[in-house]
Structure 1
Amino acid sequence: MAEKQPNEKLTAWFTRSGWSKGEFARQVNRQARQMGAHHVSTDTSRVRRWLDGEQPREPIPKIMSDLFSERFGSVVSEEDLGLRVAVPVSTVAANGVDLPWSGPQTVQLISEYSRSDLMLNRRGFLGTSLALTAGAALIEPMQRWLTPGPSGAPVGILAVANGGEPYTGRLSEPELQLLEQTTVMFRQWDAQNGGGLRRKAVVGQLHEVTDLLQETYPPQVTQRLFRLTAELAHLAGWMSYDVGMHPSAQKYYVLALHAAKEAGDRPFGALILTDMARQMIHLNRGEDALELIHLAQYGSRDTAPPRQQALLYAMEARAYSNTGEVNRCARAVRLAEDTFSDTGSVEQDPDWLRFFTKAELYAENAHSFRDLAYHSSRSPRYASLAAPHMETAVDLFRQDMENHTRSYAFNLVGMASVHLLQGEPEQAAVIAEEAVEIAGKVRSERLNTRVRKTTEAANRDYRSVPAVGRLAELVVEQIPEYEAV
Structure 2
Amino acid sequence: MATTRARDGGSADEHEPDGGRQPNDRLSAWFARSGWSKGELARQVNRHARAMSAPHVSTDTSRVRRWLDGEQPREPIPQILAELFTRRFGRVVSIDELGLREPDEPHGDFGVDLPWTFETVVEILGEYTRGDLLLGRQEFVGPSLRLAAGRDLVEPLQRWSAPLPAAPAPLPAPIVPGAGVGAGAGVGRGGRRPRLPASATEHLHESVRLFRRWDMQGGGGLRRKAVIGQLNALTDLLRDEHPPAVRARLLGLTAELALLAGWMSYDTGLQPGAQKYMVLALHAAKECDDAPFGANVLGVMSRQMIHYELAEDALELIHLAQYGSRDTGGAGLQAMLYTLEGRAYAALGDTDRCRRALGLAEQALADSRPHTEPDWIRYFNRAELLCESGHAYRDLAYTRPAFVAPAKERLSETVRLLLGTGEFVRSLALAHVGLATVFLIEHDPAGAVEQATAALEIAFRVRSERLIVRLRRTVEALAGRFPADPAVCELAARVARELPEAPFPTA
Alignment TM-score, normalising by the size of structure 1 = 0.76
The answer to whether the 8 Å contact 1:102/1:149 transfers is no
Secondary structure of 1:145's counterpart equals coil
The answer to whether the 8 Å contact 1:101/1:149 transfers is no
Give the number of aligned pairs.
382
* Separation (CA, whole Å) in 2 of partners of 1:465 and 1:123: 41
* Higher mean displacement: 125-134 or 113-122: 125-134
The answer to whether the 8 Å contact 2:132/2:139 transfers is no
**Aligned counterparts, 1:361-400, within 5 A:** 361-374=385-398, 376=399, 379-400=400-421
1:1-39 CA-to-partner distances (Å, cap 9, x unmatched) read xxxxxxxxxxxxxxxxxxxxxxxxxxxxxxxxxxxxxxx
Cα drift, residue 380 of structure 1: 1.6
**Aligned counterparts, 1:195-274, within 5 A:** 195-274=220-299
**2:493 is the alignment partner of 1:484:** no
**2:445 is the alignment partner of 1:425:** yes
Cα drift, residue 275 of structure 1: 0.3
Secondary structure of 1:144's counterpart equals coil
* Higher mean displacement: 167-176 or 362-371: 167-176
* Separation (CA, whole Å) in 2 of partners of 1:275 and 1:127: 23
Partner residue, 1:459 = 479
Runs of 4+ in 1 over 3 A off after TM superposition: 123-127, 162-169
**2:111 is the alignment partner of 1:96:** yes
Partner residue, 1:331 = 356
* Separation (CA, whole Å) in 2 of partners of 1:284 and 1:338: 27
* Alignment match of 2:131 (pick from 111, 116, 125): 116
Bigger radius of gyration: 2
Partner residue, 2:333 = 308
* Alignment match of 1:130 (pick from 145, 153, 166): 145
Cα drift, residue 100 of structure 1: 4.3
Cα drift, residue 407 of structure 1: 0.8
Secondary structure of 1:130's counterpart equals coil
1:166-216 CA-to-partner distances (Å, cap 9, x unmatched) read 654632111221111001000000000000010000001001001000011
The answer to whether the 8 Å contact 2:140/2:272 transfers is no
* Separation (CA, whole Å) in 2 of partners of 1:442 and 1:423: 29
* Alignment match of 1:193 (pick from 210, 214, 218): 218
Cα drift, residue 456 of structure 1: 1.0
- What value does the CA root-mean-square deviation take over the aligned residues? 1.7
Partner residue, 2:491 = 471
Secondary structure of 1:97's counterpart equals coil
* Separation (CA, whole Å) in 2 of partners of 1:125 and 1:316: 29
Partner residue, 2:189 = none
Which letter maps to 1:276? M
Cα drift, residue 147 of structure 1: 1.3
1:332-390 CA-to-partner distances (Å, cap 9, x unmatched) read 1111112211122x22211111110100011111011111123x2xx221112211011
Q: Which has the higher helix share?
A: 1
* Separation (CA, whole Å) in 2 of partners of 1:211 and 1:126: 27
* Separation (CA, whole Å) in 1 of partners of 2:194 and 2:377: 30
1:124-171 CA-to-partner distances (Å, cap 9, x unmatched) read 644322000000110111112111335x45xxxx7x815677654632
* Separation (CA, whole Å) in 2 of partners of 1:459 and 1:164: 71
* Higher mean displacement: 232-241 or 317-326: 317-326
Partner residue, 1:277 = 302
